[in-house]
């Protein structure tokens, strides 16, 4: 039986790794390589790259990043963000990704999932679902990086996505994302029993206990984690990250205040970060079957 997966979620804007809160307010945390190398050598089961601005500026920088990463990183790579056509997918796979993850293009045309699954096989095609709990406790789907609301209920959408041939669902909680409030347990349990394909939860994970408690309630297949792991490394490698930056030409791109100002008001916000290795060790101690 396959094991519970722990997947670093790497948001990329241009050539930088960025992190926001509720998918907004992106803060630059360095170049992605330092992070991806560390993750792949410390037990990551996969890497998901999320290109924040692919649909706006094109995909050249992410292709470059994937291409460099794939030659040195011997774990699966999934790419998400702005994927609209069969030729987009071909390009990404050719750069060295193993799978792609689709949201906006699937919302606009669900048959795109079927077409992509037919060409590349279901196991290559994931669907990313972006949603949040509204004030009536309902979950509707969003697209365009959590900006545009639809009238599609998440319960209906997961079933359709599976029927169209998606091989996996990555379920993003916009309202939890970047907040350290824990994954959305009621969303996960609401969705899980409606589908047979694997379900990866994303958004809000604040530690191994969060996952352990959620798994007691609902069985799901893995978790995608960003802030919890990233900020651990930002602290650990801060000097090197800043030096890397200083050697780059595009130093001024994006919000680099957090990195550059050691006394930034946000610097000490994230106390309870985790190294991915310790995170997985704790899961194993709780008898959760994950890769050593």
Partner 1 sequence: MIDVAIIDLQTSNMKSVIGACKKVNLKYSITSNPKDLKKARALILPGVGSFKNAMNFLKKKKLIKPIKEFFDSGKPILGICLGMQLFFKESSEYGLTKGINIIDSSVKKFTSKDNSKIPNIGWSTISNKKKFKNKIFNNINTNKSFYFVHSYYVNKFEKKEHNVEISNNGNIEFCAFVNFKNLYLFQFHPEKSSLEGLKIYKNFKKLIKK
- Please report, as ranges, the residues that interact with partner 1 according to CB under 8 A: 1-3, 5, 40, 45, 67, 70-72, 74-76, 93-99, 120-124, 167-168, 196-198, 221-222, 291-292
- With 0-12 CB in 10 A as exposed, 13-18 as middle and 19+ as buried, what is 135? exposed
SS3 (DSSP) at 67: helix
Cα separation, 273 vs 284, whole angstroms: 18
Least Å distance between CB 137 and partner 1?
29
Nearer to partner 1, 25 or 121 (CB): 121
Nearer to partner 1, 124 or 234 (CB): 124
Least Å distance between CB 18 and partner 1?
25
Nearer to partner 1, 2 or 251 (CB): 2
Least Å distance between CB 123 and partner 1?
4
Nearer to partner 1, 46 or 175 (CB): 46
CA 246 and chain centroid, separation:
27
Cα separation, 281 vs 291, whole angstroms: 9
CA 282 and chain centroid, separation:
21
Nearer to partner 1, 197 or 288 (CB): 197
Least Å distance between CB 92 and partner 1?
11
Question: Which residues is 149 bridged to in the sheet?
Answer: 142
Least Å distance between CB 5 and partner 1?
6
Least Å distance between CB 222 and partner 1?
7
Cα separation, 62 vs 54, whole angstroms: 8
Q: Contact 44/74 with Cβ under 8 angstroms?
A: no
Q: Contact 75/91 with Cβ under 8 angstroms?
A: no
Least Å distance between CB 36 and partner 1?
13
Nearer to partner 1, 14 or 76 (CB): 76
Closest CA to 22 of 227, 173, 185: 173
Nearer to partner 1, 169 or 259 (CB): 169
Nearer to partner 1, 55 or 275 (CB): 275
Least Å distance between CB 167 and partner 1?
5
Give the DSSP letter string of 223-279: EEESHHHHHHHHHHTHHHHHHHHHTSS-TTSS--HHHH-TT-TTTTS--S---HHHH
Total H helices, total E strands in the chain: 13, 12
Q: What is the DSSP letter of 11?
A: E
Question: Which residues is 49 bridged to in the sheet?
Answer: 10, 79
252 token code pair: 């001024």
């Amino acid at each position: 039986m396959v094991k519970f997966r722990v997947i670093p979620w790497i948001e990329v804007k241009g050539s930088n790794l960025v992190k926001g809160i509720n998918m907004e307010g992106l803060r630059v945390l360095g170049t992605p390589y330092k992070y991806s190398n560390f993750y792949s050598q410390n037990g990551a089961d996969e890497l998901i790259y999320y290109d924040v601005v692919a649909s706006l500026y094109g995909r050249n920088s992410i292709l470059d990043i994937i291409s460099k990463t794939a030659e040195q990183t011997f774990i699966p790579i999934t790419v998400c963000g702005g994927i609209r056509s069969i030729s987009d997918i071909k390009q990404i796979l050719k750069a060295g990704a193993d799978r792609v993850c689709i949201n906006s293009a699937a919302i606009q045309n669900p048959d795109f999932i079927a077409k992509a699954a037919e060409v590349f096989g279901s196991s290559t095609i994931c669907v990313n679902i972006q949603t949040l709990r509204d004030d009536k406790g309902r979950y509707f789907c969003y697209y365009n990086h959590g900006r545009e609301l639809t009238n599609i209920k998440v319960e209906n959408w997961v079933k359709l996505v599976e029927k169209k041939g998606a091989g996996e669902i990555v379920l993003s909680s916009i309202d939890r994302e970047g907040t350290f409030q824990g994954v959305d347990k009621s969303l996960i349990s609401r969705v899980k029993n409606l589908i047979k394909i694997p379900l990866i939860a994303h958004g809000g994970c604040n530690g191994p206990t969060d996952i352990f408690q959620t798994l007691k309630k609902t069985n799901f297949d893995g978790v995608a984690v960003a802030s919890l792991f990233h900020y651990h490394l930002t602290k650990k490698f801060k000097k090197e990250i800043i030096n890397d930056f200083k050697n780059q030409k595009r130093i001024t791109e994006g919000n680099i205040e957090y990195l550059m100002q050691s006394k930034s008001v946000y610097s000490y916000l994230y106390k309870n970060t985790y190294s991915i290795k310790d995170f997985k060790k704790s899961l194993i101690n709780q008898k959760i079957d994950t890769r050593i």
